Chain A
Amino acid sequence: MAAILCAALIVSLFEAPEFDDDPDVAVDQPETDDLYEDVIITPPGLGKLTTSIVDMHGQFVGIRCSTCHGAGDIGDPPAQYADELTEFHREMEFSHGDLACASCHATDDRDKLTLASGALLDYDDTMDLCAQCHSSEYKSYQHGAHGGMSGHWDRTQGERVRNHCVVCHDPHEPAFPQVTPADPPRDRFFGTQ
């Protein structure tokens, strides 16, 4: 991104417009209570091992990590990195810096995640795990500048629907995948149509 940033000097830096927050003009801000809550879309069965068995709702059944792991490691010796896995979880692609499994998965309670401080984290709080190492994206996310939204911009009229980080980024291979683009309009190039 650095290259782009330098290039951006070609266009001059835009001054954020001055806003006039004169109460006569500004909208009456509704009480916070009146605002619709954000809805965060989270994949089902976060932190469970996905199996190929399908339940009555058409979802893949997930099993708790502790089903096999008991309290902790079972590999012999326990794998630290993906390339040390010889018997299980082999289908897993891993490409997330050079993190060890234990950077995120608590070693003595396989149903929990762990922060660098050693504090345990439920899978429901996975976003706090990401935030620990990616504070700037997390901050942007909290203000809608990363991660996007759908639904309503006006939360007095409806909720804002947002994706959890792991909807877009697989925790083990977080790079956003390449895609085939949709077709462009078939117009004559540049404004002639």
Chain B
Amino acid sequence: MTDPTDDTTTVEANDGGIDRRTAMKALGATLGAAAFARAMAPLRSWSADQSMDEFLQQHYKRLSDEDMERILRRLEQETYDEYGAQVHIDDPQPIPGVQFGYALNLSVCNGCRKCVEACHIENNHDRSTNNSYIRVFEMEQGSMDFEKGTADYDHTVPAPGKYYMPVQCLQCDNPPCVDVCPVEATWKEEDGVVVDYNWCIGCRYCQAACPYHARRFNWKKPEIPTGEVNPVQAYLANRIRPAGVVEKCHFCLHKTRKGGAPACQQACPTGARVFGNMLDPDSDIRWVLENKRVYVLKEDLGTRPRFFYFFD
């Protein structure tokens, strides 16, 4: 297979518009050789262990239903080959008229990290790093700046004088991560911000752009024992991600786009989390927005998060 970074390659990855090859070349020009090599590393190894089919894959938004069907079955087969697990991957679409909103009651959260754990399992994260899309910050009472919190506390909670602030992707209405992506591998849908892990080139601009440290880089192929793979998967959600791509919380869209609760809410023993449709005037989330004093993180940045914090 040809080296995708080679100018002479005749492979056309797509039919104009968002052109990954052009973006990769532009990246080379702006980053300098060493940085470019590092940014492209996942891409170079990619020709070795991935199929032509995958290389030729179109941008998500231009895939026909049949294309998507074929890709999903291929990914299921790959998961079976590599993890021994029989999974079902689908591609649920946003529900018309639904905009997800999430609120968290900081008076009630006790920092137990059950949400962190649930996310780890639900989203097929790498076992060796115990990765999760949620970090819980232990905060001094009196401070709202989570940059000053500690995320690796390991004593009984809640500790006196502290409170706890879980932080995950805030699904901004005006997401800086989306703006910086050179290949449109991440974009905003009606109900939240998503990533196409097959399109991501791993340049990590989005990770640097996110003021909330919500994005993670997948350094290595996730290790998950066969019996622990969560078989209910979706393309833009919790399917096992290849190494070298950026990933983040997607509000469990593989569940929430079917009316279910996100795994972190499902697991919360304190009942601190409120999730729902912000466009439904009778929803719990709307009641919270209209009846509690709600805060968003770093509001001055104008990112307009759809994740809110409140106190009783």
Contacts and interface: CB of A to CB of B under 8 A. Distances in A.
Given A14-B295, A191-B215, A154 B277 contact: yes
B270 interface: yes
B273 interface: yes
Interface in A137-164: 137, 140, 143-154, 156-158, 163
B265 A149 contact: yes
Nearest to B304: A17
B88 interface: no
A56 interface: no
Which of A29, A190, A193 gathers the greatest number of chain B CB atoms within 10 Å? A193
Interface stretch (B76-84, B193-201, B286-294): B286-294
Interface string A174-189: 0010111111111101
B311 A149 contact: no
A14 B207 contact: no
A139 to B, nearest CB: 9
Nearest to A13: B293
Nearest to B173: A17
Interface stretch (B14-22, B59-67, B124-132, B231-239): B124-132
A178 to B, nearest CB: 5
A26 to B, nearest CB: 6
A119 interface: no
Given A148-B273, A150-B266, A168-B271, A1 B312 contact: yes
Contacts of B108: 146
Given A145-B105, A146-B105, A193-B216, A176 B295 contact: no
B80 to A, nearest CB: 27
Q: Give chain A's interface secondary structure class.
A: loop
A181 B153 contact: yes
A181 B129 CA distance: 17
A121 to B, nearest CB: 24
A53 interface: no
Interface stretch (A4-12, A66-74, A83-91): A4-12
B265 A148 contact: yes
Contacts of B272: 148
A157 to B, nearest CB: 3
Interface in B272-301: 272-300
Contacts of B293: 8, 13-14
B96 to A, nearest CB: 7
Nearest to A160: B261
A185 B120 contact: yes
A11 B158 contact: no
Nearest to A154: B259
B73 to A, nearest CB: 26
Interface in B13-69: none
30 contacts: A4-B311, A5-B311, A7-B141, A7-B144, A11-B299, A13-B295, A16-B289, A26-B97, A26-B281, A27-B96, A27-B280, A143-B288, A144-B288, A145-B292, A151-B266, A153-B283, A154-B95, A154-B277, A157-B258, A158-B260, A181-B113, A182-B113, A182-B117, A184-B151, A185-B120, A185-B135, A190-B147, A190-B151, A191-B210, A191-B213
Interface of B: 95-98, 103, 105-108, 110-114, 116-117, 120, 128-132, 135-136, 141-145, 147, 151-154, 156-158, 163, 207, 210, 213, 215-217, 219, 256, 258-261, 265-300, 308, 310-312
Given A12-B300, A158-B260, 11 more contacts: A1-B312, A11-B296, A27-B98, A27-B280, A146-B105, A148-B271, A149-B261, A181-B136, A183-B117, A183-B130, A191-B213
